[in-house]
């Protein structure tokens, strides 16, 4: 397969959005933006042996996750994803079937959200696989959920479970031997196939003021980003952290996974205490797990405090960082 064969093979036969005027086939894609909305654009890159290893990730898994992490960024803004573009540097050792399988993994998720693939780039490399995905989404005018929106007395919340992805990665890397009584498939799936919380983000965008972040680098890092952007102090309760029951039995470092592990791609944020019950009820109706884990306590400083029950301690902005 050459580059043009690849383009032909991944070009979708139909499009979900009639706003696409020119899709794959020209020098660039052209689409007509809707009125009354703001465009959201995000991009993420995944590199072999940094974000995944071929020892445990199939081409489908790689494609799925490469798109999922970008959709999660759209969700964290309160928006919905519409289009995506893919740039890949493919090792010469890869087969055409492997490349197609990677795009099939993306398409599996794209169909769920009715997203259209509208372009990208492909090159060959003698080094490792590099996948860069750009996603374009929309949110109603003025409804984006910004990190800078937190205020004192807000409720601090998180969706889903914490630490499962980090536990799954540790299992894949065979860093420890799990107890035979623990089913590990859930943790591995959460690492390889994260589920973006688009609907939770959409619910949040309907409220007057919600600060949001997706948990890519770890809960501690994401909450510190909100605290810094809003110039507030956040206090969370260790006993309220939503973790899977088996996680605490899996390994003694389960708390580290929950606070600093990252790649859960859940949403964490703040909302007015007057509106918290309504958000919680709306999430319950849609079977979206959401839980209060703390409060915003001050509008001075920019820190996160962890209350363990026996002590209050600063929760450092630690988590995954490419340059540390």
Assess whether pLDDT exceeds 90 at residue 256.
Answer: yes
103 is in an annotated binding site: yes
Check: CB of residue 296 under 8 Å from CB of residue 153.
yes
Does residue 321 sit within a domain? no
If one counts the domains in the chain, the total is 2
Assess whether pLDDT exceeds 70 at residue 3.
Answer: no
Q: Same domain, yes or no, for 173 and 206? A: yes
73 is in an annotated binding site: yes
Task: Label residue 56 exposed, middle or buried (CB < 10 Å: 0-12, 13-18, 19+).
Answer: middle
Least confident range from 27-36, 62-71, 161-170, 177-186: namely 27-36
Does residue 282 sit within a domain? yes
21 is in an annotated binding site: no
48 is in an annotated binding site: no
Assess whether pLDDT exceeds 50 at residue 323.
Answer: no
55 is in an annotated binding site: no
Q: Which of 115, 140, 165 is the last residue of a domain?
A: 140
Q: Same domain, yes or no, for 8 and 117? A: yes
Does residue 78 sit within a domain? yes
pLDDT in tens, 187-240: 999 999 999 999 999 999 999 999 999 999 999 999 999 999 999 999 999 999
Tell me which residue of 316, 120, 323, 101 sits closest to 220, measured CA to CA.
Answer: 316
56 is in an annotated binding site: no
214 is in an annotated binding site: yes
197 is in an annotated binding site: no
17 is in an annotated binding site: no
Residue 134 in tokens: 């750009």
Distance set, CA 234 to CA 213, 215, 271 (Å): 14, 16, 12
Does residue 324 sit within a domain? no
Position with higher pLDDT, 58 vs 22:
58
26 is in an annotated binding site: no
121 is in an annotated binding site: yes
Q: Same domain, yes or no, for 296 and 242? A: yes
Distance set, CA 81 to CA 33, 72, 85, 87, 115 (Å): 13, 9, 12, 18, 7
Does residue 232 sit within a domain? yes
């Amino acid at each position: 397969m050459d580059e043009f064969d690849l383009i032909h093979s991944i070009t979708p036969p139909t499009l979900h959005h009639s706003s696409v005027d020119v899709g794959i086939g020209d020098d660039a894609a052209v689409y007509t933006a809707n009125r009354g909305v703001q465009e959201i654009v995000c991009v993420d890159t995944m590199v072999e042996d940094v974000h995944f290893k071929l020892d445990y990730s199939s081409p489908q898994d790689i494609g799925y996750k490469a798109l999922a992490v970008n959709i999660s960024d759209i969700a964290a803004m309160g928006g919905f994803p519409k289009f995506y573009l893919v740039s890949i540097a493919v090792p010469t050792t890869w087969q055409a079937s492997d490349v197609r399988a990677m795009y099939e993994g993306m398409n599996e998720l794209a169909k769920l959200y009715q997203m259209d693939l509208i372009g990208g780039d492909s090159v060959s490399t003698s080094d490792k696989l590099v996948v860069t995905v750009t996603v374009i989404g929309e949110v109603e005018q003025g409804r984006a959920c910004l990190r800078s929106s937190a205020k004192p007395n807000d409720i601090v919340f998180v969706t889903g479970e914490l630490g499962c992805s980090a536990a799954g990665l540790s299992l894949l890397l065979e860093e420890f031997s799990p107890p035979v009584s623990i089913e590990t498939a859930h943790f591995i799936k959460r690492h390889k196939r994260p589920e973006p919380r688009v609907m939770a983000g959409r619910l949040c965008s309907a409220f007057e003021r919600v600060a949001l972040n997706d948990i890519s680098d770890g809960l501690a890092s994401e909450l510190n980003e909100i605290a810094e952007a809003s110039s507030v102090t956040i206090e969370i309760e260790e006993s309220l952290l939503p973790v899977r029951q088996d996680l605490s039995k899996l390994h003694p470092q389960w708390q580290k996974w929950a606070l600093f592990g990252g790649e859960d791609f859940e949403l964490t944020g703040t909302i007015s205490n007057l509106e918290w019950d309504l958000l919680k009820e709306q999430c319950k109706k849609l079977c979206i797990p959401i839980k209060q884990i703390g409060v915003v306590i001050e509008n001075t400083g920019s820190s996160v405090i962890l209350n363990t029950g026996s002590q209050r301690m600063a929760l450092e902005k630690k988590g995954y960082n490419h340059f540390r």
